[in-house]
Amino acid sequence: MLRLHDYLPSANGYKVRQLLAQLERPYERVSVDIFSGQSRTEDFLHSRNPAGRIPVLEVEPGRFIAESNAILCYLAEGTPFLPDGRFERAQVLQWLFFEQNLLEPNIGTVRYWRLTGREAQRAEAARLKSAQGLEALGTLERHLQTHRFLVDERYTIADIALYAYTHVAPDGGFALHPFPAVQAWLERVRSQPRHIGELPPYTANAHVR
């Protein structure tokens, strides 16, 4: 059985749980408390992910895949969530790279800083990342004004990946009302079968004391 090494409040982990639910794939979830150092142990770094990050998917004993979007590609292979056509696949990858380069590092980081009490210590960085996060939302808005989903008018892992941080953008102070096409797309994603709902809050040890 698949084993997912994961921290429940992580939006990157959320992506993988969402796809597993929609594929109806059974799996065992292994809780990793990243704020107590469980992803930085020698065992985790040497046998699961040398970057010390979650999620990590254990596909069979001793074989691990790290990076949430790589996991999505692995799980979606041969399913409707990943197109067969070369061009359509490249479009999926385009949005996965966009998510990790422009959306998650800005929206996800500002949200994390704000929810865990770190924003005040990084005011200038938060301001810059907020501006870049708004640019990423603007990019999504332009595309979604003429598309129901991100690729080929069908729901794919590209939508799963970008939904994860976009739907919680208001937690980071990003108002979504200026982006009506994004809001409509979020509702279309929520309406998909076996949608898993919302992210749980950060655990107490994530907060600055």
Average pLDDT value for residue range 159-188: 98
On whether both 54 and 92 belong to a single domain, the answer is: no
| Domain range for 17 | 2-79
On whether both 73 and 102 belong to a single domain, the answer is: no
SS3 185: helix
On whether both 139 and 182 belong to a single domain, the answer is: yes
On whether both 14 and 105 belong to a single domain, the answer is: no
Q: Is residue 201 part of a domain?
A: no
Q: So what's the pLDDT on residue 135?
A: 98
Q: How many domains does the chain have?
A: 2
Last residue of a domain, one of 28, 59, 79: 79
| Residue 68 in this model has a pLDDT that exceeds 90 | yes
Average pLDDT value for residue range 130-159: 97
On whether both 125 and 48 belong to a single domain, the answer is: no
Whole-model pTM above 0.95?
yes
Q: So what's the pLDDT on residue 189?
A: 98
On whether both 98 and 39 belong to a single domain, the answer is: no
| Residue 209 in this model has a pLDDT that exceeds 90 | no
Q: Is residue 165 part of a domain?
A: yes
| Residue 96 in this model has a pLDDT that exceeds 80 | yes
On whether both 63 and 154 belong to a single domain, the answer is: no
Burial class from Cβ neighbours inside 10 Å (0-12, 13-18, 19+) for residue 164 reads buried
On whether both 168 and 113 belong to a single domain, the answer is: yes
Convert the pLDDT of each residue in 99-129 to its tens digit.
Answer: 999 999 999 999 999 999 999 999 999 999 9
| Cα 19 to the center of its chain, rounded Å | 11
Convert the pLDDT of each residue in 27-51 to its tens digit.
Answer: 999 999 999 999 999 999 999 999 9
Q: Is residue 205 part of a domain?
A: no
Whole-number mean pLDDT of the chain?
97
On whether both 93 and 186 belong to a single domain, the answer is: yes
The region, left, alpha or beta by phi > 0 then psi within -120 to 50, assigned to residue 121 is alpha
Average pLDDT value for residue range 154-183: 98
Please give the Cα distance from 147 to 162 (Å, whole number). 15
**CATH, residue 126:** 1.20.1050.10
% of the chain exceeding 70 in pLDDT = 100
On whether both 108 and 148 belong to a single domain, the answer is: yes
Backbone angles phi, psi at 7, to 5 degrees: -120, 115
Average pLDDT value for residue range 64-87: 98
Residue 25 CA neighbour count, 13 Å, CB half? 21
Q: So what's the pLDDT on residue 152?
A: 83
On whether both 181 and 102 belong to a single domain, the answer is: yes
Average pLDDT value for residue range 9-18: 98
